[in-house]
Structure formats: C-alpha cells, structure tokens
C-alpha cells in the first residue's frame, strides 16, 4: 500500500499576504493600530505602518522570501518616517541573512512573535505631527471606502 503525498507550494503573494496579516494581528495585540500598504511622502510604500498608544510610529517591511529580500534593498528609505523599523518574515525565512539593526517579527497568517525589538530613533516633533495627522486621515478615508494613495 502506497501513501499519497501532496506537496503544497505557496506563492510569493500568498506568503506576503499571510505574513502581513499575522504581523498586523501581532501589532494590534501589542497596542498598535496598523495600516497596510501606506505610501510615504518619498514615494516608497510601507507594507505596514502602525501608530502606537503614545504616538510612536512603527514601519514593518514584509519579506516573502530570499529573492524578495535580495532584490529589494529600499528599507533604509523608510527610517526617516518612523520611530522604529522592523522586518516581518515567515517562520521558514533564512533569518541569518537579515541585517541585525532592525527589529524582527516572525509571522504566519494567524499571528506572530517579536524576535528582536526594533531600536527606537524618535522622529522630530514636526515630522511626527505631520505623519500622525496624515496617518489618521488615511485611516478615516479607508474606513469610508475611499482609497487614498499617498501619506502627505
């Protein structure tokens, strides 16, 4: 008697969606209010941007796999728009290739865990105010069903 074995492959977009969902759930549990796919004033798109209880801003860059990490090195361009920055990856991601400076979240579709806290580098007051107001407007517009494009 032979056993039937089914191999399931998960596409890059499916992995990205699962990690984004799990990281968003984790951030919510940690007291953040996350938004997905936020276009920053410099034109870059943050996979997750989250506002904390005390007004701190966290950006999370989701990496779906090794190829995604190697071909996309723009993560340093997010740092002027957040107090803290972290990568979020799937459990099977080769974490040893990631830089040690940012925070690190491991997540699947159901949740996640912070493996390394994101170091804090506080924003200037004027930039924080502008980003917080833009974040609030973006969240309100999305709640109203309007697809706003850029965080201004």
Read off the CATH number of the domain in which 59 is found.
Answer: 3.40.1350
Asked if residue 1 belongs to a domain, the reply is no
Asked if residue 2 belongs to a domain, the reply is no
Per-residue confidence at 75, pLDDT binned at 50, 70, 90? Answer: confident
Asked if residue 73 belongs to a domain, the reply is yes
Asked if residue 59 belongs to a domain, the reply is yes
Compute the distance between CA of residue 99 and CA of residue 73 in angstroms, rounded to an integer: 11
Q: Return the H-helix or E-strand segment holding 47.
A: strand 45-51
Asked if residue 48 belongs to a domain, the reply is yes
pTM of the shown model: 0.90
Partner residues linked to 50 by β-bridges = 34, 58
Q: Which domain holds residue 134?
A: 12-143
- 8-12, 72-76, 126-130, range with greatest mean pLDDT: 126-130
Asked if residue 148 belongs to a domain, the reply is no
The answer for 139, left when phi > 0, alpha when psi is -120 to 50, beta otherwise, is alpha
Per the structure, how many domains does the chain have?
1
Asked if residue 127 belongs to a domain, the reply is yes
8 has pLDDT over 80: no
Burial track 122-142 (b if 16+ CB lie within 10 A, e otherwise) = ebeeeebebbeebbeebbeee
Asked if residue 105 belongs to a domain, the reply is yes
The answer for 21, left when phi > 0, alpha when psi is -120 to 50, beta otherwise, is alpha
């Amino acid at each position: 008697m032979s056993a039937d074995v089914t191999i399931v492959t998960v596409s890059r977009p499916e992995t990205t969606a699962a990690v984004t969902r799990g990281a968003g759930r984790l951030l919510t549990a940690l007291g953040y209010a996350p938004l997905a796919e936020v276009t920053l004033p410099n034109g870059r798109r943050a996979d997750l941007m989250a506002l904390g209880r005390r007004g701190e801003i966290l950006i999370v860059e989701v990496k779906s796999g090794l190829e995604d990490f190697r071909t996309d090195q723009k993560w340093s361009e997010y740092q002027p728009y957040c107090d803290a920055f972290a990568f979020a990856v799937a459990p099977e991601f080769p974490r040893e290739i990631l830089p040690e400076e940012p925070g690190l979240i491991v997540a699947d579709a159901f949740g996640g865990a912070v493996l390394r806290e994101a170091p804090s580098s506080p924003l200037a007051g004027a930039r924080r105010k502008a980003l917080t107001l833009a974040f609030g407007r973006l969240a309100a517009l999305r709640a109203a069903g309007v697809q706003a494009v850029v965080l201004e």
